[in-house]
Homo-oligomer: A and B are copies of this chain.
C-alpha cells in the first residue's frame, strides 16, 4: 500500500484508521509468537464502517485481516500479507441479554468474560470458556470456534451461535442464521463462518444461546500413578451417568513445573493429575463430585484433593493455569499444539511424547481437556530450536492422525498448522474448501494466506 492510498483511506475512514507505530505494533502478533506488522489498523465502530473498508479493499486489492484481542495461538489474526488489520475491540456492546428468550446479542469486541458475567447476573450461562476468556473477544471466539474446559459438558462456541451478521469481502452485509433458539432454513452459513478464522468475512454481530446457570460448582483433583490410570478413570467417570463440567489433565512434565503449588510430593514414575469439576444444584454438584472422587479412589488414585469452596477450587485452577504460563516462560522457544485423540488413546499419545522430545532435544508437555480427548501438547527448546520444533510437531500430527485423532480441537489452523493441513484433509476436501473461500472472496482480500496451503 503506498502513502497516497493510506492517506486516502485515512480521509475516508476517519480517526479509527491508524498508521502510527503504536497501533501497528499492537496488532503485529498474537499468542503464537508469529509476528508481522500490518500497514494500517482500523478500529471500526459499526458494520457500515467495515463495509466501507472492504469496498475500498475490493477496489484497491489490499489485504484485510480481522482481529479480536489477538489471543489466538495459530497466528490467524497476524497480517502476514500486510494491508489493514480490522480490530473489532471498539465494537464492544452487549446489545441484549434477553432473559425471556434465553439469548444474547453482542458486538464482536465484547470480551467473553464480560458476556459470561452479564449473563450470570440474570441467572443465565454462556458456557464456552477458552483459557483466554478474560481477554479474548466473542468475535475471535466465533472465528476460531473456541472451546475450553467446560466444553466437555456444554459444547463449543459453534453450539451456542444461533445467528450472525458479517460483512462479506465485497462489503455487503450478510445476516445468517436466526434470532431464535432453533432454525433450519437453507444451508448453515453461520456454521460455515464459525471456525473460518476470518477468511470469509468480518463478524459484526452474534446472537448466542444462553442456558440456565448452574448454581454450584465443586471440584476435586486426583493424582494417578500414570497417564493410563488417569485416562481409564476418565472413561469410567464419563460412562457412570455423570457429566463432569471439567476433566482437565496434566502430565508429569507439567506437574514438575508447578510442584511447589501441589499439596503433596510427586512420587517417582509418571504421576498424572486430573482436575475434575461437577456443577448443578448444590446437592447435585456435591453428590456428583463425591461420586467422581469415589470412582477415582476405586481406580487407584494415589491422592485426592477435594475443593469444596471457591477459594480451594481457585487454588486447583491456579495450578492448571500456572502450568501454561510456566511452560511459556521456561525456554526461549515455545510451540503449542492442540491435538485431539479418542479419549481411550490419550495414554498412547502421552507415552510417545518423551521419546519424541528426546529425539529432537526438546521438552514436551501435555495438558488439556481429557474428557474431550483434547490434549494441548507444548514444546519448548533452546534458542535456535524452532525449526526442529516444527519438525517435531509434524511428527506429532502424524502420530495423532495414526491414533484416529485431529490436529486441532479448538485453536484452529491459521498459519501455524497450515503446513500440516494436507496430512489430515483429503485433496478433495481442501479443494472444496478453497472453492468456498473463492466464492466468498473472489479477489482474495480477506485474511489471505491462512488455513490453506
Contacts and interface: CB of A to CB of B under 8 A. Distances in A.
Nearest to A284: B284
A179 B159 CA distance: 18
A342 B98 contact: yes
B235 A215 contact: no
A254 B440 CA distance: 46
Interface residues of A, number: 94
A99 B180 contact: no
A374 B429 contact: no
A428 to B, nearest CB: 6
Given A174-B432, A184-B408, A102 B425 contact: no
Interface of A is mostly: loop
Interface in A393-445: 404-413, 417, 421, 424-426, 428-430, 432-433, 435-437, 439-440
B178 A100 contact: no
Interface string A369-405: 1011110000000000000000000000000000011
Contacts of A410: 182, 184
Contact of A238 (B178, B187, B212, B283): B212
A185 interface: yes
Contact of A425 (B186, B413, B428): B186
Most buried by B among A158, A178, A407, A426: A178
A211 interface: yes
Contact of A151 (B182, B213, B242): B182
B185 A212 contact: no
Nearest to A427: B172
Contact of A433 (B189, B215, B287, B412): B189
Nearest to A403: B180
Interface string A206-239: 0000011111000000000000000000010011
A406 B373 contact: no
A330 interface: no
B186 A430 contact: yes
Nearest to A344: B100
A337 to B, nearest CB: 13
Given A99-B235, A100-B235, A374-B182, A187 B176 contact: no
Interface of A: 98-103, 122-124, 144-145, 147, 151-152, 155-156, 158-159, 168, 172, 174-176, 178-189, 191-192, 194-196, 211-215, 235, 238-243, 280-281, 283-284, 287, 340-344, 369, 371-374, 404-413, 417, 421, 424-426, 428-430, 432-433, 435-437, 439-440, 451-452
